[in-house]
Amino acid sequence: MNMGRVHWLYLAPALLMLGLFLIYPTAETVRLSFYGPRSDVFVGFQNYVQAFTSQPMLIAFRNNLLWLVVFTLFTVGMGLLLAVLLDRVRYETVIKSVIFLPMAISYVAAGVIWRFMYTFRPAVAPQIGLLNAIVVAVGGNPIGWLIERPWVNNLALIAVGVWVWTGFCMVILSAAYKGIPREMLEAARIDGANEWQLFLHVTIPFLKSTLAVVTTTMIVFVLKVFDIVYVMTNGAYDTDVIANRMYNEMFYFHNYGLASAIAVILFLAIIPFLVINVRRFRAQEAVR
C-alpha cells in the first residue's frame, strides 16, 4: 500500500462521521431552503425574502438583538464583577458554588422555576408568584411579567438566562483573575493606584483574552437561544426568537422551506464568532 495514503485510511472513519452528521445535514438544509413548504417546488430566494420581511421574523430579529446586548452585557459584566469581588471574601468557594448552581440544572427546569416566580394573578386574587407577592406586599399592583410587551416580558426572559449563565462567566473569569501576578497588583498599589485604576489598567488588560472567549461564547449561545423562550412563552406576546421561530415553522406550521431558510440564517450569523474564536486560539498557540 502507498504509505502516502495510509493516513487517509486512519482518517476515514472520522471523515465519514463528519460528513454524515455535519456536512450532509448542512447541505440538505441549504437545499431545502430554496423549496416551498412541502419541499417539492423550487421557489428560489422567496423563503429568505419572507424571513427578512415578515412581521413575526422581524420581531424575532429584534428580540435576538435585545438578548444579544442585554444578556451578554449582564452575564459577562456580573461575572467579572463577582470574580473580582469574591476573590477577597472568606467563604469564596461556598458563595461561588451557590452562584454556579443554576448551571447544573437544565434550561427547561430553569424555565419552569421562573414561570412560578413570574406567576401573575389579578389584584383581587392572592398572588402565588414570588415577585408579584413582593410587589403587592410593598403596596404595588401585580405585574404581568410574561405578558407585558415588548420590554417587560423580554427582559424577564433574559433575566432567566442571566441567572443561569452568570455563574459560568464568573468561574472562567475568576480562574483567569487568580492568574494575575500578585506582585504586579501590589506594585501598582505602592505606586499609588487606587482600586478602580487597578481594575481598569491592570485587571482588564490582563483578562482581555479571557473576556473575549467568554463574550463570544455568550454571543454564540444567545444567537441560538431556544429552551427558555419555548418553555416560558413559546414566543407568545412578542417574545419570539429566531430559533423558536424556526422550530414553530418546522413542527407547527410544517413549512420546511422557511424553517430551513431560518436555520441557514442562524448558521451564517454564528460563523463569524466561531472564526474569531478559532483565530484567537491559533494566535495564543503561536505565542506559546
At 35 the three-state DSSP class reads: strand
* Residue 155, helix vs strand vs coil: helix
Q: What is the rounded CA–CA span in Å between residue 68 and residue 263? A: 18
The tens digit of pLDDT for each residue in 29-83 reads 999 999 999 888 999 999 999 999 999 999 999 999 999 999 999 999 999 999 9
8 A C-beta contact, residue 64 and residue 278: no
CA distances from 204 to 4, 52, 93, 158 (A): 49, 38, 23, 26
Give the tens place of pLDDT for each residue, 240-277: 999 999 999 999 999 999 999 999 999 999 888 888 87
